[in-house]
Amino acid sequence: MDLKTASAIRRLRLVSAPEAVSFLVLLLCSVLKRTTDFNAVPVMGAVHGVLFILYVIFWLDAWNRTKWSFGTAALYFVLSVLPTGGFFAERKLRRESENAVIAARAREEGTVNA
């Protein structure tokens, strides 16, 4: 795996947790809108929408670069639409990103030493 692929995984990982937090805050704002006079849904909806679109763009880029199977790509997408799924995606992606960086550096050192 090259460094561009590792970067794609890292970008997806870095947006997954904030996307999950924004989803949870949006759900909380929805409840508060219906139970109080507080209405932050328009603002939180926009924030969550931008983060979700970034997640989808980064997910597509990572899927394209990593050549994930359909099942793996589908798992990461399903995790993005579950309220706490982004936290699980972030954890899995962190491991995958670290492994990708290690593999890329090892390959670069192997070509330099060869």
Count the Cβ atoms, other than its own, within 10 Å of residue 65.
17
**To which H or E segment does residue 17 belong?**
helix 3-35
> What's the pLDDT tens digit per position in 25-67?
999 999 999 999 999 999 999 999 999 999 999 999 999 999 9
- Per-residue pLDDT reduced to its tens digit, 66-98: 999 999 999 999 999 998 999 999 999 998 888
Average pLDDT taken over every residue of the chain: 90
86 near 17, Cβ under 8 Å? yes
- Using a cut of 0.85, tell me whether the model's pTM lies above it: no
Supply the DSSP string of 31-91, one letter for each residue.
HHHHHSS---HHHHHHHHHHHHHHHHHHHHHHHHHHT--HHHHHHHHHHHHSTTHHHHHHH
